Structure 1
């Protein structure tokens, strides 16, 4: 059977994707990573997860004239770039050529922030990124039942909206939950004001471009995070310090991060203590080597936040990361779920004070508990 000429246009793109998948095992083996079976398996899975993210982003959610929200991190299964289980991440392409309406609800949502960015850091052909505008729940008026309507448009000023500059490319939304296992926030919606309702038919050229970008995205991000984490391991081994934001993160005012690398042998625990900033939100998330949160959907304690952890009478909080519960009085045990090392991050939001002084130490459990 001979295919029509127009059907063969994406052939090179499919070949590019196939070659990327075929060559991945050899290229993956050259990346810096721990010599552990679990880390190798999760790194291979990461590439497949990133491939699904790329296919969605560059084929399904690509046109700012017909926007919709994509979740790179989904339902506790698919993770991306240092996710926090207690947050939902939505993003949509936007352009200053259009005006948009975003609707949503604060029901079962504690905090929310909307940020508009320029640039694209998602693949090999990355372009410079900058934060254009941002708002939080403090600048959003809601109805009595928590519903809101926001305007996203060039030149917007005032409450309930964010502005678009000529280089605007993406609208990102972060929603903070009290308990992601229980909370069920309503979906967000975005629509363009005016213009045709239906998008134009898909073309072979557009599909080819999307396939190539998806393949680039998957490999670029797998390699980039492995290299970034390798550097973090060297510089911040069992230590936490402020994360340098050179422009790639560009979080709104009031956001600060501590990050580091954890490694806990059998019979040991990593003990972390700090005094949380007054009035600020915080979360602590230990992750695997690939910057993915650990499995949390089935009740394991693998993250903690200011919503679920209270300071002691001195105002301090003590966390302990260990393979088994060390039963240290007053400490919150966090599980490793078969991992012996990985990355870790403190997130602080609505924080306008200095980051807290954090004490971190590797302790021998046998000695600490009086055992021989």
Structure 2
């Protein structure tokens, strides 16, 4: 067994021993949770863990300028909001709700500006059905995962299926069964450890494409959530705070490591990406960028046969820059192509008047990502930093 498996087994044994000990003392996990909530211990530990998450803001390699630090603390607040919604508000797998955990004001892990992410809390020992309409969004994928970033930084995929592989009616309607045992027709696999559904809707043109309209239900019959219990609150606060601490530290380490190849775009290890919850059908090129006021990052790449691609800029915390108001990414639809079908992307602090310009939005450094979706080949994007004054003379 690997270290993570051993640790998980040990944790399971510890929990069983703790339950047995409590029973000997005439207590149960529920009564202990009641005591923790009434005494304020649950809240105190939640706050203490949030405070400890501030270690990510001063992690080695982190810029200390006011903008990066301000965004860092905002990032922790955003993670807190996302964690509370995931583990307190929408934590009942018997009453699942598809909702947006990651969006324009809650971001993590180099979130894709072209994506409309949706999540639902599920239980791998239960069966679910998704119904809805396909819409016209360019790419639609469904994945099941176990774990979360507060539990060792791993979110391995337990099943994945794309709309292109589903049977969809002529009116665009379809249904998809989620279960641990194989099911006829449209089926998304799970394991007993599955706890999360993620839906990725990737737009090529947000102005014209219609997103899928989706609903999830428990096959045995979804119901309204039961009244909140102290045990649910105690567990939810703990998981939410661990998500903040775990995710912030995980991506702080990624940002530090990416700086080893600043202004380059090496391929990210696909196995590492999938274990961290990435789409298994995407090849990522994660890195770091840093530019002076008079410098430009030039990225040239051939475009393979693929379902989609894009390039984006992030801040140091691996949050996509504000794509609502600025051009911080380019994709297969928005790009201007060169005569040979390749693309040249220009990153500068001010618009140089050239195609495929990416705005740094007042940042002088951060993370960046290039991705191919279901590509037949994976060409290596080529990068170079040049003076802005020389852009017009480049071949």
User: Is residue 47–residue 222 contact of structure 1 (8 Å, CA) maintained in 2?
Assistant: yes
| Aligned with residue 360 of structure 2, among 336, 339, 349 | 336
| Aligned with residue 242 of structure 2, among 197, 208, 216 | 216
Instruction: Summarize the Cα distance change of 1:303–1:361 in structure 2 as closer, same or farther, 3 Å threshold.
Output: same
Name 2:346's counterpart in structure 1: 320
Query: Are 2:141 and 1:113 equivalent residues in the alignment?
Result: yes
Q: How many residues align?
A: 358
Instruction: Summarize the Cα distance change of 1:10–1:106 in structure 2 as closer, same or farther, 3 Å threshold.
Output: farther
| Aligned with residue 156 of structure 1, among 163, 182, 201 | 182
Instruction: Summarize the Cα distance change of 1:150–1:30 in structure 2 as closer, same or farther, 3 Å threshold.
Output: closer
TM-score between both structures, scaled by the size of structure 1: 0.88
User: Is residue 153–residue 246 contact of structure 2 (8 Å, CA) maintained in 1?
Assistant: no
Unaligned regions of 5+ residues in structure 1, if any?
none
Query: Are 2:97 and 1:72 equivalent residues in the alignment?
Result: no
Could you say what secondary structure the match of 2:275 adopts? Answer: coil
Q: What is the CA-CA distance between 1:20 and the residue it aligns to?
A: 3.7
Instruction: Summarize the Cα distance change of 1:286–1:29 in structure 2 as closer, same or farther, 3 Å threshold.
Output: same
User: Is residue 140–residue 201 contact of structure 2 (8 Å, CA) maintained in 1?
Assistant: yes
User: Is residue 54–residue 218 contact of structure 1 (8 Å, CA) maintained in 2?
Assistant: yes
Name 1:14's counterpart in structure 2: 43
Structure 2 counterparts to residues 124-163 of structure 1, below 5 A: 125-126=151-152, 129-157=155-183, 159-163=185-189
User: Is residue 135–residue 162 contact of structure 1 (8 Å, CA) maintained in 2?
Assistant: yes
Q: What is the CA-CA distance between 1:29 and the residue it aligns to?
A: 3.2
Q: What is the CA-CA distance between 1:101 and the residue it aligns to?
A: 1.0
Instruction: Summarize the Cα distance change of 1:97–1:105 in structure 2 as closer, same or farther, 3 Å threshold.
Output: same
| Aligned with residue 310 of structure 2, among 283, 287, 302 | 283
Unaligned regions of 5+ residues in structure 2, if any?
1-33
Higher helix proportion (structure 1 or 2): 2
Q: What is the CA-CA distance between 1:65 and the residue it aligns to?
A: 1.9
Name 1:266's counterpart in structure 2: 293
User: Is residue 9–residue 208 contact of structure 1 (8 Å, CA) maintained in 2?
Assistant: no
| Aligned with residue 251 of structure 2, among 200, 212, 225 | 225
Could you say what secondary structure the match of 1:95 adopts? Answer: coil
Instruction: Summarize the Cα distance change of 1:196–1:363 in structure 2 as closer, same or farther, 3 Å threshold.
Output: closer
Instruction: Summarize the Cα distance change of 1:21–1:250 in structure 2 as closer, same or farther, 3 Å threshold.
Output: closer
Q: What is the CA-CA distance between 1:63 and the residue it aligns to?
A: 2.3
Query: Following the alignment from structure 1 to structure 2, what is the Cα–Cα distance between the partners of residues 71 and 139?
Result: 24
Q: What is the CA-CA distance between 1:323 and the residue it aligns to?
A: 0.5
Q: Deviations over 1:58-106 (max 9, x none)?
A: 11222222211232212x2221221111111112222233221102322
Name 2:262's counterpart in structure 1: 237
Query: Following the alignment from structure 1 to structure 2, what is the Cα–Cα distance between the partners of residues 208 and 31?
Result: 33
Query: Following the alignment from structure 1 to structure 2, what is the Cα–Cα distance between the partners of residues 233 and 159?
Result: 46
User: Is residue 50–residue 244 contact of structure 2 (8 Å, CA) maintained in 1?
Assistant: no
Name 2:385's counterpart in structure 1: 362
Could you say what secondary structure the match of 2:156 adopts? Answer: strand
Q: What is the CA-CA distance between 1:22 and the residue it aligns to?
A: 4.8
Instruction: Summarize the Cα distance change of 1:190–1:10 in structure 2 as closer, same or farther, 3 Å threshold.
Output: farther
TM-score between both structures, scaled by the size of structure 2: 0.83
